[in-house]
Structure 1
Amino acid sequence: MGIFSSIWDRIRGHRKEQEPAAAPAPQPTVIATAAPAQTALPPVDVEAVLQSMAEIEGEAAAGNWRTSIVDLLKLLGLDSSLEARKQLAEELNVHAGPHGSAEQNIALSKAVWRKLAENGGLVPDSLRD
C-alpha cells in the first residue's frame, strides 16, 4: 500500500459515521444471476474531517496542515520524513525542486489535495490550486 493510500484511508476512516439506512424491503428471489449492484460511498468532506482531527489534536499541535505536507502527514499519524515524502512524490509524479525543498513540499501538498479530490474527496479549490 502506498503513502497516498494511507492518507486516503486515514481520512475516510476518521469521518463521522453516516446514519444507518433503513433496511430495504425484501425482494422476490430471482433465478437469473446478475452482478451485484455497486453502491457508491458518499463523498468525504476532507477539510471538515481534517479540521475535526486538528481540533482533537489541538491547533498548535496540528500545525499548518492546509499548506504543509509535513504537518498534514503528522496530523494523520503518518511518517513525514524526507524518505516518506520522496516516496509520495514518486507516487504522485511530483518533480518540483529538490527533495525536501519548500518548492517540492508545496507542490506535493497541492498534488495530495488534487488526488484526494480525484478519489471522491470534497476539497476546496483553494487547497488544490
Structure 2
Amino acid sequence: MSLFSTILEKLGIGKHATSSAQAAPAAPTTGTTGEITQNPPSTPTAAISEVDVASKLEALASQQTEQLNWRTSIVDLLKLLSIDSSLAARKELAAELHYTGSTDDSATMNTWLHSAVMKKLAENGGKVPADLLD
C-alpha cells in the first residue's frame, strides 16, 4: 500500500458506507406467474460525505501527550497518524506525489510535501481548510 493511501485510510477518506442491500446479492423471488426473477440491483442510499480533515486531526492531536504541529509539519502530521515519518519514508512519499526538487534539501521537500498532501486530501474527498491549501 502506498504511503498516501495509508494517509487516506487513517483519515477514513475514500471509504463510504454501503447499505446492507448492496453488500449482499439480491435473492431471487417468485413472480405472480411462478417464474423466478432476480430483484433489480439496489442503488446506493448512503450519501458520499466529505471527511473534515482538520477536525479529525485536531481530535487525534487532543489525545496525544506530545505537542504535534500537524498544520505545518509533514513529520508531525505523519506522527499523528502513526505513520513512519523517517526521512526515507518522506522521500518515498515525495516520489509517490511526483516531487521534482532535490530530496537532499529536506526542509524544502518537507514544506512541499505538507502542501501536496493537503491538496491531495482535498482532491480525494477531504474537507481541508483554505489556510492549509496554500
**TM-score normalized by structure 1?**
0.77
Query: Residues 40 and 97 from structure 1, CA distance in 2 versus in 1: closer, same or farther, beyond 3 angstroms?
Result: farther
RMSD after superposition: 2.5
Structure label with greater radius of gyration: 2
CA contact (8 A) 2:71 2:77 kept: yes
In the other structure, the counterpart of 2:121 is 116
For the 8 Å contact 1:68–1:105, the answer to whether it is kept is: yes
What number of residue pairs does the alignment pair up? 114
Amino acid paired to 1:90: A
Larger relative strand fraction: 2
- Decide whether the 8 Å contact of 1:82 with 1:100 is kept in 2: no
Query: 2-side partners of 1:10 and 1:53: how far apart?
Result: 11
Structure 1's unaligned 5+ residue stretches are 22-28
Q: Which runs of 5+ in 2 are unaligned?
A: 20-28, 32-36
Give the aligned partner of residue 8 of structure 2.
8
Aligned twin of 2:70: 65
Q: Counterparts in 2 of 1:22-101, with a 5 A limit?
A: 31=37, 34-38=40-44, 39-58=46-65, 61-99=66-104, 101=106
Give the CA deviation at 1:43: 0.7
Structure 1 window deviating more from structure 2 (91-100 vs 108-117): it is 91-100
Query: Which runs of at least 4 in structure 1 moved beyond 6 Å after TM superposition?
Result: none
The alignment's TM-score, normalised by the length of structure 2, stands at 0.74
Deviations, residues 13-56 of structure 1 (Å, cap 9, x unaligned): 8xxxx9xx9xxxxxxx7946655424443110000000000001
SS at match of 2:99: coil
